[in-house]
Amino acid sequence: MRSPNFYTYAFLNTPDFPLNLPDGNLGKLLLINGKNISAVVEPGISLELSQNNDEQVIKMVLAHDRVICDLSRQITVLPLRFGTYFISEDTLLNHIESHAQEYQDKLNNIQGKNEYTLKVIPQKVEELPKASGVNGRDYFLTKKQHYEQQKSFLAAQNEEKSHLINLITETYQASAIVQDNAEEVRLHLLVDRHEKALLLEQVLTLQEKCPHWNLILGEPLPPYHFI
């Protein structure tokens, strides 16, 4: 038996044109309209029944992202976290009403924009080749030289990373989120939909200035990190 829950995918400005609502996880989606903010929901989803079924949870996560991506190609949406639901339509409408200004401000901030993720992956330092037919003195000289090359390589790499992060944060300011991890740097960028070509040019320029890194730009996505 399906639960009465209203599983909620996203909030959006109440549209003045018909949306093409995709299929949800189990069935059709509905648009619940508040005064100015609306919600895209799927009634009858019970997360509790799927908690111990990893395959079902993965299916629901994929459906959640698919729906949000489909909607974002039609209209600016405020994507919600996986697992967001309300126990009734009245509860949902009351929530929208009490948070209307907050959601309106967030929608204004991301209006007409996509999120891009720029992965900045460090190139690896070449390993010292195994000694073959080299005497002790020559080997240790080669090892010392290789060590100095490693130091220079890593120093240049760190300098390039700092320059890249500074340039991105100065250019995009509040529209850039930096995740600096040991394995790679991830830069989440909020970019106007009409400025994709400019972003691609910027990435190519950054790649030329950062030869010790590999830059990989992802596809445009809903602004998950900016809500």
Which sign does the torsion angle of CA 40, 46, 48, 50 carry?
negative
- Mean pLDDT, the chain, integer: 89
**CB neighbour list of residue 97: distance below 8 Å, 6 or more residues apart:** 34, 35
Query: Rounded to an integer, what distance in angstroms lies between the CA atom of residue 155 and that of residue 182?
Result: 15
- pLDDT confidence of residue 128: 57
Residue 166's pLDDT is what?
95
Global pTM reads 0.84
Distance CA 66, CA 80 (A): 13
Taking the CB of residue 37, how many other CB atoms lie within 10 A of it? 23
Q: Mind listing the pLDDT tens digit for each residue in 12-62?
A: 999 999 999 999 988 899 999 998 999 999 998 877 666 777 888 899 999
Contacts of 200 (CB under 8 A, 6+ apart): 217
SS (H, E, C) 23-84: ECCCCECEEEECCCEEEEEEECCCCHHHCCCHHHHHHHHHHHHHHHHHHHCCCCEEECCCCC
Euclidean distance between CA atoms 43 and 205, whole angstroms: 48
Q: What pLDDT does residue 205 have?
A: 95
Asked whether the predicted pLDDT for residue 186 surpasses 50, the reply is yes
* Residue type for position 50: S
Partner residues linked to 76 by β-bridges: none
- Residue 227 is predicted with a pLDDT of 87
Q: Where are the alpha helices (DSSP H) in the chain?
A: 54-72, 89-98, 100-110, 136-172, 196-209
pLDDT tens by residue, 55-113: 888 999 999 999 999 999 999 999 999 999 999 999 999 999 999 999 999 999 999 99
